[in-house]
Amino acid sequence: MKFRCEREALAEALTTAGRAATGRSGALPVLSGLRLELTGDRLTVTGTDLDLTIQLTTEVGGERDGGVVVNAKLAADIVRALGTGKVDFVVEGDEVSISNGRSQFSVRPLSFDDYPKLAAPTTSSVTLPSAEFGDALRQVTRAASNDEARQILTGVLMAAEAEGLRMVATDSYRLAVRDLTGQQVLSADEKVIVPGRALTELQRLVGAGPEVTMRLGDRDATFEVGTTRLTTRLIEGEFPNYRQLIPASHPNVLTVDREPLLEAVRRVKILARDSTPVRLHMSADMLRLQAITQDVGNATEELDAQYSGSELTVAFNPDYLMAGIEACSGEQVTLSTVDALKPAVVRGAGNDEYLYLLMPVRVP
């Protein structure tokens, strides 16, 4: 196997596919590697941990077809460290040579025969516009849990709705719901749970093409963007009944400029130490943010705002609050509340396609 490729293109290919390679102890050693296969001038790079697979093709100057498995992190680190220009990649027997200018590295390959054989994706597919789908991923995946002990909450629910596709994620402290109107991706009443980790990786890829092609199998989902294919196992189980968490009505509604609110929360958060919440004191035409940490100090900031309802003080985890505000589109956001202990809803003003529900924190 022998080819030549621009350093930047090769580094990008190795890094992208390498995000799916596993570094977990106890896993098959070969899963820490990337499989490189050269046919003509097309190099296919594959990384997998058996749950998530990323495969892409890139154009190179091919000289001798072949295949090899190399340690993912090691290969990417070597190529990134090389100087600008073309990289020569040569496999001879039990040695992989990676060189550029006066720099030359020689590494041992992993077993090519032990690398898993990957099944071909299902043939039926649907396409989604990259910009809209990428925006939905950005808004929803932030609410998925990272706690593997509650695996169902690490996923994002994709469900068919009458108007199109709905995406939902929750970690039990917050909930994100995004509707993609007019996107008939699933059949009526169909729903799947896609791992949040896979969709987070997909976020990195959606800008590579105008469309995302989605293929659903019985136990897996495949997304194709440009020359990159991401495949992930679906999560089995029943997603929580999120609808019952959303209050039917909100007597108190705050409307405030989005960017000034974000900046204010960031500043006040400096004094929110050791899980201290940020308090929002809401009254007519004014919002006051406050963080109080015993033996450290306190911070207060006031913002102009529109408010309808009873005067109210409600407290939130500042990081979760900021995540919801950042996810909203538009120049203003609304914060709708029932009381200081029931879930609050953050939306972009005038935008009903996205909802971010946040549990308040009890304060004295």
DSSP 156-206: EEEEEETTEEEEEEE-SSEEEEEEEET---S-TT-EEEEEHHHHHHHHHHG
Is 333 part of any domain? yes
The DSSP code for 147 is -
Q: Are 142 and 149 in contact (CB under 8 A)?
A: no
**Domain boundary at 212, 244, 276, which?**
244
Domain's final residue, options 244, 279, 308: 244
Q: What is the pLDDT of residues 314-346, one digit of tens each?
A: 999 999 999 999 999 999 999 999 999 999 999
What's residue 26's pLDDT? Answer: 64
Query: In terms of domains, do 130 and 229 share one?
Result: yes
Pairwise CA distance, residues 143 & 265, whole Å = 19
Name the domain boundary from 209, 244, 279.
Answer: 244
Whether 233 and 143 share a structural domain = yes
Residue 121 lies in a domain: no
**pLDDT tens digits for 84-128?**
999 999 999 999 999 999 999 999 999 999 999 888 877 778 899
Residues in the chain: 364
Q: Specify the residue for token string 């070969």.
A: 30
Predicted pLDDT of residue 170: 97
pTM over 0.85: yes
Q: What is the structure's pLDDT at 226? A: 92
- Residues of the chain predicted below pLDDT 50: none
In this structure, how many other beta carbons lie within 10 angstroms of the beta carbon of residue 303? 16
Would 182 be classed as within a structural domain? yes
Q: Both 173 and 253 in a single domain?
A: no
201 in any annotated domain: yes
Give the span between the Cα atoms of 256 and 333, in whole angstroms. 6
The domain containing residue 25 runs over which residues? 2-107
| Rg of the chain on CA atoms, in Å | 24
- Kindly report, residue by residue over 55-81, the tens digit of the pLDDT: 999 999 999 999 999 999 999 999 999
| pLDDT in the model for residue 51 | 93
